[in-house]
Amino acid sequence: MATYIRSADWKTALTRHVEAAGTRFAYRRLGPDAGVPVVLLNHWGANLDNFDPPIVEGLAADRPVYALDYRGIGSSGGTAPLSVAEMAADTIATIRALRLTSIDLIGFSLGGFVAQQILLDAPDLVRRAILAGTGPAGGAGIERVGAVSWPLIIKGLLTFRDPKFYLFFTSSAASRRAAKTFLARLKERTRDRDKAVSLTAFLRQLKAIKAWGLQARQPLDAVRTPVLVANGDHDIMVPSENSSDLARRIPGAELVLYPDAGHGGIFQYHDAFLTKAKAFLAA
């Protein structure tokens, strides 16, 4: 495994690159050299600056954490894939290029789609997995992510707010407060920020999400990796019933639904999620 200059926190973690699958992939790493590495996969339209700092730092307290950009996203090279299967193949290649042989995997939203595909395509690579704010192939309402999101993306533009304020959180006062603090955390890093996601890549990822929502169900009963499923109980992007469906279909999976929380439930309840995630991964 490579030797890394240690970063004290997520705000100062260097952006690095690794060659895999014919492309130069961007990633950041935090934490010690020892311990089972945790690999983080993020949502639609997200670059490295969209990983929640306290979650990354909490996980990195006692193990190495790698956060990855997909092909065509941020400062990764290439063109964003049009399928989750291609993203999974890229991610497997990137993990292997980093010389990681056994990992824990946390996928949020689109990252959860990719994580499921990895569990099926490379089961021996993943020791434990957390699927957050996500759903299975062919899951209820997933093909409508774009239709649900566009009006709130436009609302964000018109109100000068990040669309995640409306898409990831409920309209309650508590959830809106959590939205403001979450979005402030994402702005803490001021130097070496990742390259903005292009509109072309954003739209290509949306096509991959719609295709995932329309494709046939997968044999999730074949998954033998221990899995924790987490979400808010009022997710409008990937409806929360999909989380319950995942937990029913994956043998032995555990389910956590956070109250009065939307798609970004793990960010609204980041302290509780971090405690739960660390306990699950340490089991």
Domain positions in the chain are 15-282
Q: At what angle do helices 110-121 and 199-214 cross, to 10 degrees?
A: 60
Residue 158 exposed, middle or buried by CB count within 10 Å (0-12, 13-18, 19+): exposed
Q: Over range 74-96, report the average pLDDT.
A: 98
pLDDT for 12-46, tens place per residue?
A: 999 999 999 999 999 999 999 999 999 999 999 99
The closest of 105, 100, 10, 8 to 56, measured between CA atoms, is 10
| Spatial CA neighbour of 258 closest among 236, 232, 224, 239 | 232
In the numeric block, the tokens 């990796």 are attached to: 225
d(CA 192, CA 118): 30
For residue 269, pLDDT beyond 60: yes
Q: Which pLDDT score is estimated for 8?
A: 72
Asked if 150 and 231 count as a contact pair (C-beta separation under 8 A), the reply is: no
Question: How, if at all, do strands 126-132 and 103-108 pair?
Answer: parallel
Q: Bridge-partner residues for 67, per DSSP?
A: 28, 40
Angle, helices 84-97/199-214, rounded to nearest 10 degrees: 110
Asked if residues 13 and 29 have their Cβ atoms less than 8 Å apart, the reply is yes
pLDDT > 70? residue 4: no
Structure tokens at 32: 């010690």
**CATH, domain 15-282, list 3.40.50.1820, 1.10.357.10, 3.90.700.10, 3.40.630.10:** 3.40.50.1820
- Summarised one tens digit per residue, pLDDT across range 120-165 is 999 999 999 999 999 999 999 999 999 999 999 999 999 999 999 9
The pLDDT value recorded for residue 5 is 55
What are the φ and ψ backbone dihedral angles of 69, each rounded to 5 degrees? -95, 140
Whole-Å CA distances, 274 to 110, 204, 223, 254, 261: 20, 31, 24, 15, 16
State the pLDDT at residue 73: 98
Closest to 226 (Cα-Cα) out of 103, 109, 126: 126
Among residues 109, 237, 71, which one has the least CA distance to residue 163?
A: 237
pLDDT at 1 over 50: no
DSSP-based three-state secondary structure for 81: coil
Summarize the confidence of residues 110-114 as an average pLDDT.
98
Angular region, 23: left φ>0, alpha ψ -120 to 50, beta rest: beta
What is the C-alpha separation between 183 and 167, in angstroms, rounded? 12
Q: What is the tens place of the pLDDT at every residue in 46-57?
A: 999 999 999 999
Angstrom distance (rounded) from CA 280 to CA 151: 37
Nearest to 183 by CA among 155, 158, 160: 160
